[in-house]
């Protein structure tokens, strides 16, 4: 059972904890399991950008929900110009309407007013901030200003106590008096190990995955809050099916049991407490820095054409043996080199390689929406290499399609009225 989370630490700026190192995805790929859609990386639009020690730490969406306004270095409230035309009518026309919506929402009252542009989707807000910075309108530390200081101080402290203390203690910023500096931070990986939705089973018999390590549930862009329900529903399914298989003696590969894995595991555990067990940085560790420097810039909310080439160069320079960054002496000698970040970065970058139509969460090539919407990008092991190819997207069952019909009918009615 693989439940190791995502790949956040492949990126320099991330909200993820230190253990999100793509271990599970790399292990699964190494034994022949398929990975899918690793190019779908979600950036939360508001993470701390200063000081460096807390870069990427989340700034809750509640700040914008309570009336936080995004401005660039020129003081411009820029989100209005980034609203998608197809959904522009869902957002306020001006600052007065936006302010009325906030006041009604805070008071839990119904209102005909529409929400502020800062409450656009995560990918859209992240792309907007990224664009402002790239075009020279960013803050001193490379982000945007998120300002809620125009509200009464007592209200800010009452509604956003954790944010008040977070900025005061970590950045020496009083958010009741001055704006915060925020920017996109790598937050979640929609791609991962391909699993059966009913059982959590990977494409290798006996292997299961759940949570962020697995893929297929969230499509190209997870909605806020759905990772917890993913764990509760599909984690339960994977655990139950894995337990059934573990209790079936006929399902085990006796050859695996006879490879001395328990003895190898015991040696690994003993070595962790031994001084000098790891002598200097391994090649996989040396890979980590260059790859993290390239992925946030080239594989971020908007990838540039030369990004995959640079990231590939970083990967090739860091080629080393398996999990040598943990314990070099125990890395299986017969196994081809495949450091964990390299597996994740290789799939993510090659799925949007130069010379081909691009597909990613926040960047898509014009005119390729329908084609991209019909496939998953699959990574399979071919000898010692990775092969990335499109594979048909599983069709939605008819009983689920019928659930969406009422909503589609409402949309059609709105279009007629409009």
Q: What ranges do the domains of the chain cover?
A: 8-40+190-252+281-392, 45-184
E strands present in 77-225 = 144-147, 180-189, 192-194, 214-215
Average pLDDT over the chain reads: 78
Q: Which of 14, 9, 13 is nearest to 26 (CA)?
A: 9
Instruction: Please write the tens of the pLDDT for every residue from 200-255.
Output: 999 998 899 999 999 988 888 888 788 889 999 999 999 999 988 888 756 555 44
Cα angle, residue 272 at apex, residues 267 and 274 outer, rounded to 5°: 95
H helices present in 282-397, as ranges: 283-298, 307-317, 340-350, 369-372
Tell me the longest C-alpha to C-alpha distance in the chain.
73
Instruction: Please report the pLDDT score of residue 212 as a whole number.
Output: 93
Confidence check: pLDDT of 260 > 80: no
**pLDDT band with cut points at 50, 70 and 90 for residue 185:** very high
**pLDDT band with cut points at 50, 70 and 90 for residue 326:** very low
Query: What tokens were used for 251?
Result: 């399902």
Highest mean pLDDT among 73-87, 209-223, 239-253, 328-342: 73-87
- What's the CA gap between 198 and 207, in Å, rounded? 14
Beta bridge partners of 70: 146
Residues taking part in catalysis = 44, 64
**DSSP-derived secondary structure letter, 118:** G
Average pLDDT over residues 258-284: 57
- What's the CA gap between 414 and 417, in Å, rounded? 5
Indicate the range of 150-164, 292-306, 377-391, 399-413 predicted with least confidence. 292-306
Instruction: Please write the tens of the pLDDT for every residue from 294-318.
Output: 555 444 555 433 333 344 443 433 3
Instruction: Please write the tens of the pLDDT for every residue from 117-135.
Output: 999 988 899 999 999 999 9
Q: How many CA atoms lie within 13 A of 74 on its CB side?
A: 8
Query: 375-382 and 69-71 as β-strands: parallel, antiparallel, unpaired?
Result: unpaired
Instruction: Please report the pLDDT score of residue 325 as a whole number.
Output: 33
Beta bridge partners of 215: 194
Average pLDDT over residues 59-85: 94
Q: Do the Cβ atoms of 389 and 377 come closer than 8 Å?
A: yes
Instruction: Please report the pLDDT score of residue 269 as a whole number.
Output: 67
- What's the CA gap between 275 and 307, in Å, rounded? 40
More confident residue, 301 or 102: 102
- What's the CA gap between 62 and 164, in Å, rounded? 12
Confidence check: pLDDT of 193 > 60: yes
Query: What tokens were used for 206?
Result: 């006996």
Confidence check: pLDDT of 174 > 90: yes
Confidence check: pLDDT of 391 > 60: yes
Average pLDDT over residues 46-68: 92
CB atoms within 10 A of CB 139: 22
Q: Does the CA dihedral 406-407-410-416 come out positive or negative?
A: negative
Average pLDDT over residues 268-283: 56
**pLDDT band with cut points at 50, 70 and 90 for residue 277:** very low
Query: What tokens were used for 68?
Result: 């936080």
Ramachandran category for residue 177: left, alpha or beta (phi over 0 → left; psi -120 to 50 → alpha): alpha
* Phi/psi at 417 (5° precision): -65, -40
Instruction: Please report the pLDDT score of residue 336 as a whole number.
Output: 33
Confidence check: pLDDT of 290 > 80: no
**pLDDT band with cut points at 50, 70 and 90 for residue 323:** very low
Instruction: Please report the pLDDT score of residue 210 as a whole number.
Output: 94
Average pLDDT over residues 56-80: 94
Whether residue 51 has a cis bond before it, omega within 30° of 0: yes
Helix (H, G, I), strand (E, B) or coil at 260: coil
- What's the CA gap between 374 and 337, in Å, rounded? 33
Confidence check: pLDDT of 197 > 70: yes
Instruction: Please report the pLDDT score of residue 168 as a whole number.
Output: 94
Average pLDDT over residues 10-17: 87
- What's the CA gap between 273 and 275, in Å, rounded? 7
H helices present in 172-302, as ranges: 226-230, 236-246, 254-257, 261-272, 283-298
**DSSP-derived secondary structure letter, 329:** G
**pLDDT band with cut points at 50, 70 and 90 for residue 380:** confident
Alpha-carbon torsion, ordered 353, 358, 363, 368, to 10 deg: 180
CATH T-level fold of 45-184: Flavocytochrome C3; Chain A, domain 1 (3.90.700)
Q: Does the CA dihedral 154-184-229-24 come out positive or negative?
A: negative
Instruction: Please report the pLDDT score of residue 359 as a whole number.
Output: 55
Instruction: Please write the tens of the pLDDT for every residue from 143-152.
Output: 999 999 999 9
**pLDDT band with cut points at 50, 70 and 90 for residue 369:** low
Query: 375-382 and 214-215 as β-strands: parallel, antiparallel, unpaired?
Result: unpaired
More confident residue, 94 or 10: 94
E strands present in 51-208 = 69-71, 144-147, 180-189, 192-194
Average pLDDT over residues 335-344: 46
Confidence check: pLDDT of 261 > 80: no
Helix and strand counts by DSSP (H, E) for the chain: 15, 9
């Amino acid at each position: 059972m693989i439940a190791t989370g995502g790949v956040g630490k492949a990126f320099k700026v991330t909200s993820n904890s230190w253990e999100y190192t793509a271990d599970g995805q790399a292990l699964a790929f190494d034994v022949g399991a398929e990975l899918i859609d690793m190019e779908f990386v979600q950036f939360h639009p508001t993470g701390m950008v200063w000081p460096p020690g807390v870069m990427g730490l989340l700034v809750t969406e509640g700040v914008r929900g309570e009336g936080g306004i995004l401005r660039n270095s020129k003081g411009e409230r820029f989100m209005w110009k980034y609203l998608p035309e197809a959904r522009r009518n869902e957002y306020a026309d001006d600052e007065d309407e936006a302010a009325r919506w906030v006041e009604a929402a805070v008071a839990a009252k119904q209102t005909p007013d529409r929400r502020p542009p800062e409450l656009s989707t995560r990918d859209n807000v992240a792309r907007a901030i990224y664009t402002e910075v790239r075009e020279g309108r960013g803050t001193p530390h490379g982000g945007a200003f998120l300002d809620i200081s125009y509200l009464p101080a007592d209200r800010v402290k009452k509604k956003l106590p954790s944010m008040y203390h977070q900025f005061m203690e970590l950045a020496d910023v009083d958010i009741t008096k001055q704006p915060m500096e925020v920017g996109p931070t790598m937050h979640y990986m929609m791609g991962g190990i391909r699993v059966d939705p009913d059982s959590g089973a990977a494409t290798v018999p006996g292997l299961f995955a759940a949570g962020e390590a697995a893929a297929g549930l969230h499509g190209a862009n997870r909605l806020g809050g759905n990772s917890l329900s993913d764990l509760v529903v599909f984690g339960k399914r994977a655990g139950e099916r894995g337990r059934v298989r573990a209790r079936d003696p006929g399902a085990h590969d006796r050859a695996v049991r006879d490879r001395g894995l328990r003895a190898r595991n015991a040696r690994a555990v003993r070595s962790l407490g031994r001084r000098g067990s790891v002598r200097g940085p391994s090649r996989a560790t040396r890979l980590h820095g260059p790859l993290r420097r390239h992925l946030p810039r080239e594989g971020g909310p908007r990838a540039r054409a030369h990004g995959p080439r640079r990231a590939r160069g970083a990967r090739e320079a860091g080629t080393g043996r398996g999990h040598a960054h943990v314990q070099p002496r125990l890395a299986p000698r017969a196994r081809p080199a495949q450091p964990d970040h390299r597996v994740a970065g290789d799939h993510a970058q090659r799925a949007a390689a130069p010379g081909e139509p691009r597909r990613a969460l926040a960047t898509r090539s014009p005119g390729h929406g329908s084609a991209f919407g019909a496939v998953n990008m699959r990574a399979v092991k071919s000898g010692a290499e990775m092969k990335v190819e499109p594979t048909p997207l599983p069709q939605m069952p008819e009983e689920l399609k019928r659930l969406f019909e009422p909503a589609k009918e409402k949309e059609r009615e709105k279009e007629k009225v409009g």
